[in-house]
Structure 1
Amino acid sequence: MGLIPGDWYLISASANLLKDPGDESHLLPHFTTPHTSRRPPHFSSGAAAPAALAQRRPRGAGGPRRALRAMAALRAGRLRPSHLLRAGPSRAERGRAEPSRGGPSSGIMLGMVKNSLLSTVEAWPYRLLSKGEKDQVSYEERACEGGRFAAVELVGKAFDEASKEGAVKLLKYVGGSNDKGVGMGMTAPVSITAFPAEDGSFQQKVKVSLRIPSQFQDNPPCPTDESIKIEERQGMTIYSTQFGGYAKEADYISYAAKLQAALGSDATYRKDFYLCNGYDPPMKPYGRRNEVWFVKE
């Protein structure tokens, strides 16, 4: 899964969690400059910086090098999380679930970041059944456990946009946007059900899911976002292949085709959908893990 909306400020705010969150000694209007004394000429004063920054999304903000520079700037004290949180994405980027009176509070956003970064990530439980390789494509057959999942469906949007929006909704839910106001911890992967068209491209319909952490499986908190549903699912057997990088629609389609070729005609699995899975937070630039899953019939 690629970078989610507003990653450039989530990356930065999360990197500064180990610093004093009340430190407001100075606010840097953007994190692309290496010197605290430099300000772009259109910033007339520090007070004007938040409004201007809200309209200025750094170029290439999705790149891993920029993520690392942002984290370095925060640790060095050149950037403050409160400034970035005020200069987050637009309401349209955050999704339709946001109330019209304004965006999420900094407390909710920091809660989501802390939950995503500082919690122990719980893996979706499974049992390895077999391994295989063909034409340099490695794959596994796994029996995945069922359980309760938080899921959100989005239609009418391209895969990359919809999957990012859905992931943000679920991260907010497990980060504290629920009726108990608790950070639930993290599970992996974030799983996106994609529906291929006849030409192999994705239809404008996705379901983004996250397995609820085991501590809350019996009695999961209710989401405050009504578009998120809690679902009970049975276990399933899947064929999986893995790849790295920041995955987008074209990557999942490519590796789905490779997995299909590697499995050949003997394997039986669902053809009307498959699962696109991301295991890593957006601020992890290297060693990323993505998987395509075919659900065995």
Structure 2
Amino acid sequence: MQREGCRMGGGAPEPAGAGMITLDDLDNMTDELGSDSAYNSNGSVEDEVEPMEDADQDRLLNYWQTVARGHQVEVPDDMAEPIQQMTRNNRTEERQNVPFLVLTRKEKCGEVLYEKRQYGKAKWACIKISEERYEQSICLGFMKLMRYICEQNSSGLYLGMTIPILTVVHTDEERTELQRSVTVAYYIPSHLQDEPPLPTDQDIIIEEWPPTVVFTRSFGGATNEESIIREIHLLAELLDSPELCLQDMFIVAGYTNPAAANRHNEIWFLQQP
């Protein structure tokens, strides 16, 4: 994995009094609107399912807009269709996990302190964002990736959700604060790895990342500047040889919406090549 540009990234923002909508909120909204999907896993319309009504689409958009304002982010009206697509297709069992191999695991009293994993070479859709606040960057980056996932690509099809969404973050030398520029990244589903559909948004870059060894530790709760710095220091204290990892670049992996009751996040350290 190289050190510059769009490299492994994804977490989710922590609001001040509200949660960003990514995965679990979509589950809740899908339940409210009806569990049937208008789209199958290949992105084609199933004839027997009625399309989402305009009122439901508007309600979804308004919901996203209301929550996003808590992050000082505006959700444009043209996000209505991607939000509808993601909601219709957001079945937990259809989310593809990024494949990896566990190399070692350090435990204490039955608790997993961290894992050492091997991730293979793979293609990712990446976007670099530099907003004033971390939460704003994640929100805007994820919305752009949603458009790519939801038919705004050269195939014209819904690509499918993969997890985790990654966010590449950089720190200062003392690891006391995050730099403004972050990279949000989406793993291209396995069946599309050979020929990923091209984004219509020129800000999104398809990159092939080399095989990478990471040290990863799970944590719950908020994913904001403060919690990320805290988790970086915690994992550094647990590692036997933290100097073997990159010292100013880290990854936040987000598996669930930060508004969920049981949040699943990870902090990743990248082993130096």
TM-score range (shorter-chain normalised) is 0.7 to 0.9
Q: Select which of 263, 276, 280 maps to 2:256.
A: 280
Per the alignment, do residues 5 and 125 of structure 1 end up closer, same or farther by CA in structure 2, a change over 3 Å counting? closer
Deviation at 1:81, TM superposition (A): 3.8
Q: Select which of 65, 81, 84 maps to 1:107.
A: 81
Deviation at 1:85, TM superposition (A): 2.5
Match of 2:58 in 1: 82
Q: How many pairs were matched up? A: 236
Q: Deviations over 1:94-136 (max 9, x none)?
A: 57xx7xxxx3163332112223446611111111111114797
Tell me how far apart the structure 2 counterparts of residues 287 and 8 of structure 1 sit (CA, whole Å): 10
Per the alignment, do residues 263 and 236 of structure 1 end up closer, same or farther by CA in structure 2, a change over 3 Å counting? same
Q: Does 1:93 align with 2:73?
A: yes
Which one has the largest radius of gyration?
1
- Structure 1 unaligned spans of 5+: 28-79
User: Contact 1:187 / 1:211 at 8 angstroms: preserved in 2?
Assistant: yes
Once superposed, what is the RMSD of the aligned Cα atoms? 3.1
- Structure 2 unaligned spans of 5+: 1-11, 14-18, 37-49
- RCO higher in 1 or 2 (8 Å CA, sep ≥ 6)? 2
Tell me how far apart the structure 2 counterparts of residues 207 and 6 of structure 1 sit (CA, whole Å): 17
Match of 1:166 in 2: 141
Q: Select which of 260, 279, 288 maps to 2:236.
A: 260
Deviation at 1:246, TM superposition (A): 3.9
Match of 1:76 in 2: none
User: Contact 2:27 / 2:91 at 8 angstroms: preserved in 1?
Assistant: no
Per the alignment, do residues 271 and 5 of structure 1 end up closer, same or farther by CA in structure 2, a change over 3 Å counting? same
Deviation at 1:178, TM superposition (A): 1.3
Tell me how far apart the structure 2 counterparts of residues 7 and 240 of structure 1 sit (CA, whole Å): 22
Q: Does 1:4 align with 2:4?
A: no
Match of 1:125 in 2: 99
Q: Does 1:14 align with 2:30?
A: yes
TM-score w.r.t. the length of structure 1 is 0.69
Give the alignment of 1:1-297 within 5 angstroms: 1-2=12-13, 3-4=19-20, 13-15=29-31, 16-18=33-35, 80-85=56-61, 89=65, 93=73, 103-104=77-78, 106-117=80-91, 120-133=94-107, 138-199=113-174, 200-265=176-241, 267-281=243-257, 285-297=260-272
Tell me how far apart the structure 2 counterparts of residues 248 and 86 of structure 1 sit (CA, whole Å): 24
Per the alignment, do residues 5 and 120 of structure 1 end up closer, same or farther by CA in structure 2, a change over 3 Å counting? closer
